[in-house]
Amino acid sequence: MAAGIKDKVAILGMGCSKFGERWDAGPEELMVEAYLEAMQDAGIEPTQLDAAWFSTHIDDIGTGKGGTPLSLALRLPNIAVTRVENFCASGSEALRGAVYAVASGAADIALAVGVEKLKDTGYGGLPVGNMGTLNPQWSPSGSAPGNFAQLASAYRAKHGVNKDDLKRAIAHVSVKSHANGAKNPKAHLRNEVTEAQVMGAPMIAEPLGLFDCCGVSDGAAAAIVTTPEIAKAMGKKDIVTVKAMQLSVSNGLESQHNSWDGSYFHTARIAAKKAYKEAGIDNPREQVSMMEVHDCFSITELVTMEDLFISPEGGAVKDVMDGFYDADGKVPCQIDGGLKCFGHPIGASGLRMAYEMYLQLQGRAGERQLANPKIGMTHNLGGAPSQNICSVTIVGAHGV
């Protein structure tokens, strides 16, 4: 395995727009909102940017293709802009592009911006995407909740968990995220909910009810990265560096080979193992201080706790019910509200996760600040359990 990028790249500044139903803003305004905050945080001029990576997933409802939407909106100084798209993991891809550019020495300072304007469709939930010409002729014309809900049936079958116990555990996942999101002024959903509310909500895709599904939001997030040396030279304190960035993409095994049992994410386990190795982490349950995972649905978060090797196999239900991942638990998860409550503007989500880890590590997370976190992890997933892209990123205080 390659030596990796541990501590080669520092985060110079980050920004994130208010997420939510942003009837007031188009994708351009959202990008500008995140960008200006990040630029102010970094304390640099646009001319200091060497290159940019731009992520947006659904180009058919607003933002457009190519690198131009970003360059135009931000009036970038004619630098390279690369548009990346990897389903819901697109935001992490933009960050990875910028980080790799700096790590390689090709850029001193690079920008990553992710955006999604979802609320121009006229209906709730995610837009129905274009899947090419062959896929629609045989794949079920389902929905994201319908695909992710299947984890529940397979997880129950594998671990012998009864319907009610699993429903209650995933309800707790959402109750916890709502409690966290209520403290986040930029979050889409800021209401606390009870377990009874979650369990009694209308069914979206068996067994996922309304509160088991994340918000469908507009928003943008941005990161500016550089080398630790440049950051130091600029007088930056509490420098946060990238410890690992790994991405694993399905090759058809889950959807076509009978070795996968449907209850977990094959890619997440691979990406997590590689990321821990790159970051030098050998006991994640003890070493990871906090996480932002891809909680598109409550069941996704639950099984992900095992895929990231924080909970033992089959042990996530107990950990969740014990409050292990609550704000006051051992490894707080979705401290900013997660996709569930901060919201899920697809192209921005991976960057939004990194934003929270960055704020927490710098002690700037306000009311939701955790006590002295050292290592933060983000897990950003695109696709469906049977075919997906999984990104795992680890960040931490420089020198830790």
Where does this chain bind another protein (CB under 8 A)?
A: 121-123, 125, 128, 133-134, 136-143, 145-147, 149-154, 156-157, 163, 202-206, 208, 251-253, 255-259, 261-263, 385-386
Strand spans (E) along 156-308 = 203-205, 208-209, 219-226, 240-249, 290-292
Catalytic site positions: 88, 344
Q: Which is nearer to another protein, 132 or 235 (CB)?
A: 132
- Closest of 46, 116, 34 to residue 79, by C-alpha: 46
Smallest gap from Cβ 339 to another protein, in A, equals: 16
Structure tokens at 249: 């993409």
Q: Which is nearer to another protein, 166 or 240 (CB)?
A: 166
Smallest gap from Cβ 45 to another protein, in A, equals: 44
Q: Which is nearer to another protein, 78 or 141 (CB)?
A: 141
Smallest gap from Cβ 115 to another protein, in A, equals: 23
Smallest gap from Cβ 212 to another protein, in A, equals: 12
Q: Say how far apart CA 296 and CA 300 lie, in whole Å.
A: 7
DSSP 233: H
Helix, strand, coil % in the chain, rounded to nearest 5: 40, 20, 40
- Length of the chain in terms of residues written: 400
Query: How many Cα atoms are found within 13 Å in the side-chain-facing hemisphere of 291?
Result: 27
β 240-249/219-226 pair status: unpaired
Q: Say how far apart CA 15 and CA 329 lie, in whole Å.
A: 27
Q: Say how far apart CA 91 and CA 114 lie, in whole Å.
A: 5
Position of tokens 């401290």? 335
Helix (H), strand (E) at residue 266 = helix 266-279
Structure tokens at 351: 């960057």
Structure tokens at 367: 């009311």
Helices 144-159, 163-181: crossing angle, 10 deg rounding:
130
Q: Which is nearer to another protein, 46 or 125 (CB)?
A: 125
Instruction: Report phi then psi at 280, rounded to 5.
Output: 75, 35
Q: Which is nearer to another protein, 96 or 274 (CB)?
A: 274
Q: Which is nearer to another protein, 47 or 258 (CB)?
A: 258
Q: Which is nearer to another protein, 40 or 130 (CB)?
A: 130
Q: Say how far apart CA 293 and CA 116 lie, in whole Å.
A: 19
Smallest gap from Cβ 346 to another protein, in A, equals: 17
Smallest gap from Cβ 159 to another protein, in A, equals: 12
Smallest gap from Cβ 382 to another protein, in A, equals: 17
Query: How many Cα atoms are found within 13 Å in the side-chain-facing hemisphere of 367?
Result: 10
